[in-house]
Amino acid sequence: MSATDLTAILPLIIVGITAVAAMLMTAFRRNHELTLAITASGLALSILSLAVPAELGPRPITGMLIVDHFTVFYFALVLASALGVAMLSYGYLKKCSGPHEELYILLLLAVFGAMVLIASDNLVSLFLGLEILSVSLYALISYHRDSVVGAEAGVKYLILGAVSSAFLVFGMALIYFETGTLQFSRVASASVGGTVSSTVILGGLALIIVAVGFKLSLVPFHMWVADVFEGSPAPVTAFVATVSKGSIFALILRYFAVLDIHAYRSLLVVFALVAVASMFVGNYLALMQRNVKRMLAYSSVAHMGYLLVAFLASGPMAPVAVTFYLVAYFITSLGAFGTISVLSEGEREASSIESLRGLAWRRPWLGAGLTVMMLSLAGIPLTAGFLGKFYVLAAGVESGLWALVSLLVINSAIGLFYYLRVVSMIYSPASHLTRPAGIEEIGWPSSMAETATLLLLTALVIWFGVNPSPLIHIIQSAVAGLL
C-alpha cells in the first residue's frame, strides 16, 4: 500500500485507532465520561477526515476496498449515526448497573466492520466486514448480562447469524469455483460475458442473497428481528436498525450495480417477491404489537420491502431514491429509539405502547419529538419520511414497476394505523394524570448529550422534509459512479 492508499482509508484507520485507545484506557482506568469522550472525539475526527478521500476521487485499495464518493457519503452517514448512538447511550447507561465502557468499544468495532462493508470491492472484504460487524453485535445485543430477554436475543442472533454466514461462504465458494475471482468487477465480467455456468453463478448469488436477507430482516428471514429489537438496549436497537442494515444496503447497491441485476431475470423476480412479502408481512405483524420496539422491528421489515422497490428500479433515479430513503430512515429511527432510551429507567425500558399514554402532558418535548418521528415513518408530508417514500415511488414509476408501486401505496396506508396509534396514545390523557406543573416533569432529558441529539434529529426530519434539495444534490454526486 502506498501513502496515498493509507490517506484514502484515513477515516477507517481513525476508527480502528479509537477502538484500541478506548480499550487500553478501559484496561488501565474505568471512566464512563472519558470513554465517551474518546469515542465521540474519534468518530468526529473520522467524519472531519472524510474531506481527504473525497478529494482523491475513486481509488482501489489492494483489490479489496474501493474509496469513491459513494463510499465517502455512506461513511459519513454511518459515522454520524454511530456518534448519535454514542450520545444516546450515555444517559441510558448512567441509569443502568454494571460496566459501561465496553459498550463504546463494541460500538466502535461494529462501526469499523460497517465501514469495511461499505468500501468492499471483493467478496473476501465483504465477509470480513460482515463478521466484524456481526460479532460486535452479538455482544452489544446481549449487553444486559442479567437480563433473560437480552441473553435470549443475543443467542438467537448468534445462531441465526452463524447460519447466514455459512450461506454466504458457500455462495462465495460457488462463485469463486466458476469465475476464479472474488472481485466484484471480475465476477460481473465473467458471468455476464457468458464464459461461466450461469446456473452455478445464480446458485451462488442465491446463497449470498439468503445471507443478506437475514441481515436486512427480509421475509422469510425476519423471525429474529422482533426478539432482538426487544431484548437489546434501546441505543443498540437504534444501531441495529440503522447502521447495521444501512451498511448492508450500501453494499448490495454497489455489488448489484457492478453485476447489473437487470441481466438476471430470475433474480429480479426473487427480489420482487421478497419485497412484496416483506411489505405485507411486516405491516401485518406490526399491527399486532403492543410493544413499541417490537412494532418498530416489524415495521422495519416493511421499510426494507419499500427500499427493494427502488432497488429493483432502473435508471439514475433508483440509487438516489434508495440513499435518500436510508438517510430519512436513519434519522427517524435514531430519534424514535432515542426517545425510548430517555424514557427508560435502566434495564426497565419504556417500550410498551401503553407506557406512552399522556407523554405529551408529562414530557411535552419528548412527546413532540416522538410524534415527529412517527409521522415521518408513516410518510406524512413535511417530514423526511414522506419525501423518502415519494422518491421511491418516483423511481418505481420511472421504471414501470406499477404492480410494486401499487402494493407499496397500499402498505403505506396500512402502516398509518399503527404509527398513528402511537401518536394518539402520546396525546391521550390518562385518568390518573393531570397536566403537570413541575419542572422535573416537563423538563428536558437529564443528559445534555441526549437533549442535543434528539433536538438535532427532530430538526433534521423536518428540514429534509421541507428543503431536501441540498441533500439530493449531494446524493446525486455520491451515486454518480454507480450509474
Q: Return the amino acid letter for 320.
A: V
The three-class DSSP label of residue 156 is helix
- Going by C-alpha positions, the residue among 116, 205, 127 that lies closest to residue 161 is 127
What is the model's pLDDT at position 358? 83
Cell numbers standing for residue 391? 422518491
What is the model's pLDDT at position 447? 66
Cell numbers standing for residue 75? 461513511
Can you give the length of the chain in residues? 483
- Block residue for cell numbers 399514554: 357
Contacts 24+ apart (CB under 8 A), 188-196: 188/258, 188/259, 188/260, 191/259, 192/259, 192/260, 192/263
Q: Return the amino acid letter for 346.
A: G
d(CA 373, CA 51): 31
- Going by C-alpha positions, the residue among 155, 144, 159 that lies closest to residue 234 is 144
Cell numbers standing for residue 482? 454507480
What is the model's pLDDT at position 440? 39
d(CA 27, CA 279): 46
The three-class DSSP label of residue 429 is coil
d(CA 429, CA 451): 25
What is the model's pLDDT at position 439? 32
- Going by C-alpha positions, the residue among 437, 440, 379 that lies closest to residue 408 is 379
- Going by C-alpha positions, the residue among 420, 479, 392, 372 that lies closest to residue 118 is 479
Q: What is the CA radius of gyration of the chain?
A: 22
Phi and psi at residue 357, in whole multiples of 5°?
-60, 130
Q: Are 361 and 429 in contact (CB under 8 A)?
A: yes
Is the whole model's pTM more than 0.75, yes or no?
yes
Each domain of the chain, given as residue ranges in start order, spans 3-482
133 Cβ contact partners less than 8 Å away, ≥ 6 residues apart: 110, 113, 114, 117, 244, 247
Q: Are 210 and 248 in contact (CB under 8 A)?
A: no
Helices 123-141 and 245-259: crossing angle in degrees, nearest 10, is 170
- Going by C-alpha positions, the residue among 232, 243, 240 that lies closest to residue 154 is 232
What is the model's pLDDT at position 191? 64
d(CA 279, CA 260): 24
H or E element, residue 88: helix 69-94
d(CA 71, CA 138): 26
pLDDT tens over the chain, length 483 residues? 778 888 889 999 999 999 999 999 988 888 888 999 999 999 999 999 999 888 887 888 888 888 889 999 999 999 999 999 999 988 888 887 777 888 999 999 999 999 999 998 888 999 999 999 999 999 999 888 777 888 888 888 999 888 989 999 999 998 888 888 888 877 777 665 544 457 788 888 889 888 888 989 898 888 888 889 988 888 999 999 999 999 999 988 888 777 777 777 778 888 899 999 999 999 999 999 888 989 999 999 999 999 999 888 877 888 899 999 999 999 999 999 988 888 877 666 767 788 888 888 888 888 899 999 999 999 899 999 999 999 999 999 988 888 999 999 999 999 999 999 999 988 887 655 444 433 334 444 456 778 888 999 999 999 999 999 999 999 999 888 776
d(CA 456, CA 461): 9
d(CA 434, CA 438): 11
Q: What are the distances in angstroms from CA 149 to CA 29, 124, 143, 170, 250?
A: 30, 34, 11, 32, 31
Alpha helices in 95-147 (DSSP H): 101-119, 123-141
d(CA 220, CA 228): 16
